């Protein structure tokens, strides 16, 4: 079992020998997901759920870009919740048991960033089904596959094919709109044919 303790986050998020993403990389990703969600919703994002948020690097960027948006982070790390939970609105929970995390009914933007490829398939399916029911706007579901060249933390990496992820997303009710972004069944009908890659 991998320990998501302070040493883990010090290595992968702060040590320049291992860290893969800078603050500006994260800010660009947050800005893109936010823009896509607001384009689809045709209004500002008011609520964000960040599952597997770690120390919540998205929190500060979202606070600057949308200070009125309600942010909820979920992570299974005791260290993260103890150290940052109250300040960054993070609660304890795992991807496969989100039903136990006392979450709100709906979210404009759901974020699952750099998480799915570490989660067993049965838990991925269960968590995606839960999230699909709560998606008001866009889900940013970042996943790396067996066809991707992976750097960084490969311990516990689930080498699923792109088609395996497509099946998991489709079964849960997510429709792809590009760049790891997905909409649910309700919004799919509002998009034009070419906004959907398979349209």
Predicted local distance difference test score (pLDDT) of residue 20: 75
How much is the pTM? 0.94
**197 pLDDT above the threshold of 80:** no
* Closest by Cα among 105, 96, 13, 188 to 5: 13
Q: Which fold has domain 6-195?
A: Rossmann fold (3.40.50)
Mean pLDDT of 78-96: 97
CB 92 within 8 A of CB 75: yes
Report pLDDT digits (tens) over 104-114.
899 999 999 99
Report pLDDT digits (tens) over 103-156.
989 999 999 999 999 999 999 999 999 999 999 999 999 999 999 998 888 999
DSSP the chain: ----SHHHHIIIII-TTT----HHHHHHHHHHHHHHHHHHHTS---EEEEET-TT-HHHHHHHHH-TTSEEEEEE--HHHHHHHHHHHTEEE--GGGGGGS---S-EEEEEE-S-GGGS-HHHHHHHHHHHHHHEEEEEEE----TTS---S--TT-----HHHHHHHHHHHT-EEEETTEEE-HHHHTTS-GGGSTT-
**198 pLDDT above the threshold of 80:** no
Range in 4-18, 21-35, 60-74, 94-108 the model is least confident about? 4-18
Predicted local distance difference test score (pLDDT) of residue 131: 98
Confidence of residue 199 (pLDDT cuts 50, 70, 90): low
Predicted local distance difference test score (pLDDT) of residue 132: 97
Report pLDDT digits (tens) over 51-85.
999 999 999 999 999 999 999 999 999 999 999 99
Give percent above pLDDT 90 in the chain: 81
Confidence of residue 18 (pLDDT cuts 50, 70, 90): confident
CA distance to 35, 47, 109, per residue, from 43 (Å)? 10, 12, 12
């Amino acid at each position: 079992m991998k320990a998501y303790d302070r040493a883990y986050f010090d290595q992968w998020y702060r040590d320049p020998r291992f860290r893969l993403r800078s603050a500006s990389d994260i800010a660009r990703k947050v800005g893109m997901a936010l823009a896509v969600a607001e384009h689809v919703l045709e209004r500002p994002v008011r609520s964000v759920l960040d599952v597997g948020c770690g120390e919540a690097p998205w929190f500060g960027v979202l606070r600057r870009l949308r200070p009125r948006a309600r942010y909820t982070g979920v992570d299974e790390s005791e260290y993260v919740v103890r150290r940052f939970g109250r300040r960054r609105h993070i609660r304890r929970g795992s991807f496969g048991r989100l039903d136990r995390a006392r979450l709100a009914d709906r979210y404009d933007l759901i974020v699952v960033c750099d998480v799915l490829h570490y989660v067993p398939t049965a838990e991925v399916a269960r968590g995606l089904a839960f999230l699909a029911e709560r998606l008001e706007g866009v889900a940013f579901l970042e996943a790396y596959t067996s066809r991707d060249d992976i750097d960084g933390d490969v311990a516990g990496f689930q080498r699923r094919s792109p088609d395996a992820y497509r099946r998991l997303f489709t079964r849960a009710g997510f429709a792809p709109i590009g760049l790891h972004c997905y909409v649910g069944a309700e919004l799919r009908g509002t998009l034009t044919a070419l906004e959907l890659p398979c349209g």
